[in-house]
Amino acid sequence: MNPTAAYDRILERTLEAERAVLGAVLVDPTRYDDAADVLGAGDWFRQAHRLIWQAFEKLASSGQSIDGLVVTNTLTPADLDEVGTATPLLDWCSLRHETQYTRLFRS
């Protein structure tokens, strides 16, 4: 096998794993603590995924729920530009945290 093709295959699997972890936490935020026991911000290959994880960390440390809309509102405009194509990951999450949405709406 061509070394470049092998690297590309490993890279794609890494990105799939990153998306799977982020998606699992967005679908079930209670999974964050287990994932955070193993992963930190420096473990993410893709910068967009790292930014999303850092938003998770910020929300978790402040006791807020992890949710696609709340994560999006946590990111800076520059971070949102970097996240770009990862936003579908944030968009498809269910809207389960209406109390936090109410606070966002009022602010």
Distance between CA 94 and CA 74 in Å, rounded? 17
| pTM of the shown model | 0.76
Mean pLDDT value across residues 8-31: 84
Rg (C-alpha) for the chain, rounded Å, is: 15
Amino acid at 74: T
pLDDT at 28 over 80: yes
Amino acid at 103: R
Amino acid at 91: D
In this prediction, residue 83 carries a pLDDT of 85
pLDDT (tens digit per residue) in 36-72 = 999 999 999 999 999 999 999 999 999 998 988 888 8
| 3-state SS track over 68-97 | HHHHHHHCCHHHHHHHHHHHHHHHCCCCCC
